[in-house]
């Protein structure tokens, strides 16, 4: 959910990879005392390192909860401890697993066809025909429907932003930017649209459908999609916290207008019930939410744009680790971070959740630590690098942007912020930061790379001309990284902007100096106006970028809607762009009427080029105008 953690939310999933080698696996031994000691040790270490207020860990095996424990506080000020049975955590995108379970319930009843055009199920809105291919539920499940991302206003601080699901899906529909089935781009809108289909096909609101067909049958009494929370559950809701300036700062409840994709609040014990039902082929005690064959189908791979990658399952993330088949989901709000992992061959389910922004890293570290401990597998010996490796690997180097991006509003700049640059090092390995960690990558097949001294894999794709177009993490392909032309690289983009701003700053300083030095020289009134307008323009451009820089520390707040700083910045830039037109006209007059000396006219022109460069740069990144 959380856009600033667009790559961070997927760190666990992108880290999951198929591991080369045939080393034997060690069978886990589930001694209760050892399990408690191990988890306690991990959580105590993370508490000291990450400073979260509270967390919960639940482990289920063979249909039983074998460990559950709360850590820290649900209310830090009141010193109210986390109760795994009652304390509710926001589970963010883990909510999507419930949507896909509901979709599969309708599928097994023959009420929906996963490969049919979704427009056949929608009432009151239609997906526009931007591409020849229709969008299907299968595309929504695999995040390949082709929608751009939506981040501004993804969360809300007050409940007045909540609207009926059908209204939100109709009025906030993002653009279709990729042909369906071609590019994986994680989509909150796509999942919410699937929930609307559940609602309209079943004839009852999605929230009620969820309650009657999943939560109540499984006895999940401490789980809800209702926002604000029902009175009977509100007292059990954990507070959210920010670790800042060496202390925990309480934060307000995060409302999620697109509720089905990330608005659920659930206790650890109730998440165990959900995991057990899926691991037990759709049943829990006397209750059954899916037929056995449907539950098993949900663990299987759907179509993927990458033939060598496992691709998305039926709404679940493949999260294989150390040769073990694992599936589940991760989730992030601004303050809450959680992860669900299920191992069908072991009958094992793991759920962990944190109530503090600093818990994002703790969440991402927990599962690899857990699975490395109970299902260890040694890394294979690294073979020596072939001497001719560099030439064959060079074509994979370059700049890559995430496909999960906004293309229509001011959040497009996140593409530049999330850019990844791969290069070839002296040994012929690909080198770069993928999934938040710097690493080197060894080519093991023509389009497949294995992390050196690690367990991740990435798979590339080429076009019909043999040119590299993009890559995905394996086995999960939920966010394609697309190769960019050189001019889109961060170096070129930031360098060009820096050059333009340097010209602007020179004008800010140089125009007053020139005016003072030439104050006794006779000059036309328009020439004085030209310098005055240009200097004012320099001042406004500078103020706009200074304001932008000041707002970067609170950039994450954009998920709650356009911030005051963003509005001020865009207004300053709009004013500067308007003055640029006036300056340009005066600059033309300066040359025609030979104002000032030649050096003065050249200097004025360079300043104008700085203005024009800023306008073009902002236009390219949707920052010219109020695009939110």
Sequence spans of domains, the chain: 3-374, 490-620
Q: Band of the pLDDT at 159, cuts 50, 70, 90?
A: very high
Percent helix, strand, coil in the chain, to 5, is 40, 20, 40
pLDDT value for 1 = 53
Can you tell me the mean pLDDT for 430-453? 83
pLDDT value for 28 = 60
Q: Band of the pLDDT at 14, cuts 50, 70, 90?
A: very low
Edge-to-edge, what's the strand order for the sheet holding 337-343?
Answer: 80-81, 64-75, 54-61, 348-354, 337-343, 327-332, 317-318
* CA separation for the pair 44, 512 (Å, rounded): 61
Can you tell me the mean pLDDT for 299-325? 88
Q: Band of the pLDDT at 519, cuts 50, 70, 90?
A: confident
- Residue 165 pLDDT greater than 60, yes or no: yes
pLDDT value for 386 = 67
* CA separation for the pair 578, 400 (Å, rounded): 33
Decide: 97 and 313 in contact? Cβ < 8 Å. Answer: no
- Nearest Cα neighbor of 420 from 396, 394, 447, 401 is 401
Q: Band of the pLDDT at 517, cuts 50, 70, 90?
A: confident
- Residue 163 pLDDT greater than 80, yes or no: yes
Query: In the CATH scheme, what is the code of domain 3-374?
Result: 3.40.710.10
For tokens 């697109």, what's the residue? 258
Per-residue pLDDT of 424-441, as tens digits, reads: 988 889 998 765 667 889
- Residue 20 pLDDT greater than 70, yes or no: no
Can you tell me the mean pLDDT for 190-204? 98
Per-residue pLDDT of 35-94, as tens digits, reads: 999 999 999 999 999 999 999 999 999 999 999 999 999 999 999 999 999 999 999 999
pLDDT value for 235 = 96
- In the chain, the N- to C-terminal Cα span, in Å, equals 18
Per-residue pLDDT of 221-268, as tens digits, reads: 999 999 999 999 999 999 999 999 999 999 999 999 999 999 999 999
Q: What is the pTM of this model?
A: 0.91
Cα 560 from chain centre: 15
Q: Which of 349-358, 382-391, 522-531 has the lowest mean pLDDT?
A: 382-391
* CA separation for the pair 14, 457 (Å, rounded): 9
């Amino acid at each position: 959910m959380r856009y600033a953690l667009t790559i961070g939310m997927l760190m666990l999933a992108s880290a999951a990879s198929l591991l080369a080698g045939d080393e034997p696996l060690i069978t886990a031994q589930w001694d209760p005392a050892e399990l408690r000691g191990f988890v306690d040790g991990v959580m105590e270490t993370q508490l000291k390192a990450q400073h979260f207020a509270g967390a919960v860990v639940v482990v289920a095996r063979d249909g039983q909860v074998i460990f559950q424990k709360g850590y820290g506080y649900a209310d830090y000020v009141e010193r109210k401890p986390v109760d795994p049975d009652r304390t509710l955590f926001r589970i963010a995108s883990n909510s999507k697993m419930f949507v896909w379970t509901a979709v599969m319930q309708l599928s097994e009843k023959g009420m929906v066809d996963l490969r049919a055009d979704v427009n056949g199920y929608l009432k009151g809105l239609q997906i526009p025909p931007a591409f020849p291919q229709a969008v299907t539920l299968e595309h929504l499940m695999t995040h390949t429907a082709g929608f751009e991302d939506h981040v501004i206003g993804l969360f809300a601080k007050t409940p007045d932003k909540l609207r009926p699901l059908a209204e939100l899906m109709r009025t906030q529909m993002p653009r279709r930017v990729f042909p369906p089935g071609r590019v994986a781009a994680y989509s909150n809108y796509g999942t919410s649209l699937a929930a609307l289909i559940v609602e309209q096909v079943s004839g009852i609101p999605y929230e009620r459908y969820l309650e009657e067909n999943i939560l109540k049958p499984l006895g999940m009494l401490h789980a809800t999609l209702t926002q604000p929370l029902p009175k009977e559950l509100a007292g059990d809701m954990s507070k959210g916290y920010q670790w800042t300036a060496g202390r925990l700062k309480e934060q307000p409840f995060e409302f999620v207008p697109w509720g089905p994709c990330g608005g659920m609040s659930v206790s650890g014990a109730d998440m165990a019930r959900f995991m057990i039902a899926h691991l037990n082929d759709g049943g829990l005690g006397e209750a059954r939410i899916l037929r056995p064959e449907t539950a098993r189908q949900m663990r299987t791979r759907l179509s993927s744009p990458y033939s060598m990658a496992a691709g998305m399952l039926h709404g679940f993330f493949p999260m294989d680790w150390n040769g073990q088949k694992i599936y589940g989901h991760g989730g992030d709000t601004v303050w809450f971070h959680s992860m669900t992992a299920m191992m069908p061959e072991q009958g094992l389910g793991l759920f962990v959740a944190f109530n503090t922004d600093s818990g994002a890293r703790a969440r991402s570290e927990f599962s690899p630590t857990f699975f490395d401990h109970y299902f260890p597998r040694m890394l294979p010996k690294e073979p020596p690098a072939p001497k001719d490796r560099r030439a064959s690997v060079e074509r994979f180097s370059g700049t890559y942007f995430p496909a999960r991006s906004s293309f229509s509003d001011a959040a497009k700049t996140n593409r530049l912020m999330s850019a990844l640059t791969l290069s070839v090092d002296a040994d012929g390995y690909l080198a770069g930061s993928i999934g938040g960690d710097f690493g080197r990558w060894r080519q093991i097949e023509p389009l497949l790379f294995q992390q050196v001294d690690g367990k991740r894999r990435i798979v590339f794709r080429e076009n019909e001309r043999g040119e590299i177009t993009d890559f995905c993490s394996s086995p999960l392909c939920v966010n394609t990284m697309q190769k960019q032309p050189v001019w889109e690289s961060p170096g070129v983009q930031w360098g060009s902007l820096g050059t333009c701003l340097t010209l602007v700053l020179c004008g800010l300083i140089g125009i007053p100096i020139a005016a003072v030095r030439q104050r006794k020289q006779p000059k036309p009134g328009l020439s004085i106006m030209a310098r005055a307008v240009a200097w004012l323009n320099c001042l406004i451009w500078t103020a706009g970028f200074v304001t932008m820089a000041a707002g970067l520390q609170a950039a994450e707040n954009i998920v709650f809607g356009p911030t005051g700083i963003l509005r001020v910045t865009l207004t300053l830039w709009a004013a500067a762009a308007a003055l640029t037109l006036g300056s340009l006209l005066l600059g033309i007059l300066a040359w025609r009427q030979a104002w000032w000396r030649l050096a003065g006219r050249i200097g004025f022109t360079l300043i104008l080029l700085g203005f024009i460069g800023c306008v073009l740069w902002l236009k390219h990144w949707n920052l010219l105008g109020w695009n939110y």
